[in-house]
Amino acid sequence: MAKSKLEYIWLDGYKPTQSLRSKTKIENNFSGKLEDCELWSFDGSSTEQAPGGSSDCILKPVFICKDPQRRDGYLVMCEVLNSDGTPHESNGRATIDDDDNDFWFGFEQEYFLWDNETNAPLGFPKGGYPRPQGPYYCSVGSKNAYGRDIVEEHLDACIDAGLNIEGINAEVAAGQWEFQIFAKGAKEAGDQIWVARYLLERIGEKYNISINWHCKPLGELDWNGSGMHANFSNTALRTCGDKAVYEKICESFRPFVKEHIEVYGADNHLRLTGKHETASIDSFSYGVSDRGASIRIPIATVERGWKGWLEDRRPNSSADPYKVAARIIKTVKSVNVEVY
């Protein structure tokens, strides 16, 4: 009898930033299909999701892929439900209004590799600092790129799992890296980002390296923060061929700055300062090829005759991609634009 290891993964109820949790379920003669993953329960009182006197929460499988690091293993991303089957309040995925997968998302996930012994990013000498920013972005060489073995292992794991990872690069600060995930559908884009984060966290265990998702782990020092830029499109953006449509959609974000910032990650005021390629947290702007704007209109979109996508640069590295996507979709749907 063949046995498979199904790693059920979910988000806990911690605030303001949720964490990943997981546990292993053994199945006999498992088909590998999502529809054959059963509902499972867990102790919500241990994850800030239920009181001790009524602690059962339900895991509903929503995405499955191969687990590249375990024999006969699968990774199963789950939504959290209350015991009555309704979405738990911590369940951001359930708030996404994109059942027809009209919205496509590409997330640029930045993070720091954090040395547990020095309590600083890889590449930072104990009790001090490396050279200032400049040589680290898309760098090569042992004096510039730190932790490449971890990053390469993560890239291979994502590919082997079947995730649609589209690239990696060293980022502006020492010990800072980025990976990109794209999916045609907001829910799947979020699923794949969370599974990719899970894989990175697990690889870090082997090296005794933590993954620091905080948007500004080096505080007010002159080092870049970490974002999770959200590239998005729908049929209108992909096909309109009209600058006015883009401007109308961009303007639809202006009245909802507060609502977006609320779900764009904790401590974003430390990152969105108007410096280090960010817009101010209190303002809203957009522009072609402007990395200091709230929303960047990519030059490729313009060159294709105003057919493409937009990039919201405000979400930070610790944000929940489900909640980010849900808010963007709600805002874009608040305006009426013709689909050509």
CATH assignment of 104-332, among 3.10.330.20, 3.40.190.10, 3.40.50.20, 3.30.590.10: 3.30.590.10
According to CATH, the topology of domain 3-88 is Ubiquitin-like (UB roll) (3.10.20)
The chain-wide mean pLDDT, for the chain, equals: 96
Q: In this model, does residue 340 exceed pLDDT 60?
A: no
Report phi then psi at 328, rounded to 5: -60, -45
Q: Rounded mean pLDDT of 203-215?
A: 98
Q: What is the pLDDT of residues 149-207, one digit of tens each?
A: 999 999 999 999 999 999 999 999 999 999 999 999 999 999 999 999 999 999 999 99
The Cβ of residue 293 has, within 10 Å, a number of other Cβ atoms equal to 22
Q: What is the pLDDT of residues 251-281, one digit of tens each?
A: 999 999 999 999 999 999 999 998 878 899 9
Q: What is the pLDDT of residues 60-95, one digit of tens each?
A: 999 999 999 999 999 999 999 999 999 999 999 999
Q: In this model, does residue 116 exceed pLDDT 90?
A: yes
- Considering the chain, what percentage of its residues have pLDDT values greater than 70? 99
Q: How far apart are CA 78 and CA 303, in angstroms?
A: 40
Q: In this model, does residue 215 exceed pLDDT 80?
A: yes
pLDDT category, 339, cuts 50, 70, 90? low
Among 189, 186, 188, 167, smallest CA distance to 178 is for 167
Domain ranges of the chain: 3-88, 104-332
Kindly report the pTM of this predicted structure: 0.96
Tokens of 306: 């105003």
- Please tell me if the domain spanning 3-88 has the same topology as the one spanning 104-332: no
pLDDT category, 336, cuts 50, 70, 90? confident
Q: How far apart are CA 113 and CA 180, in angstroms?
A: 16
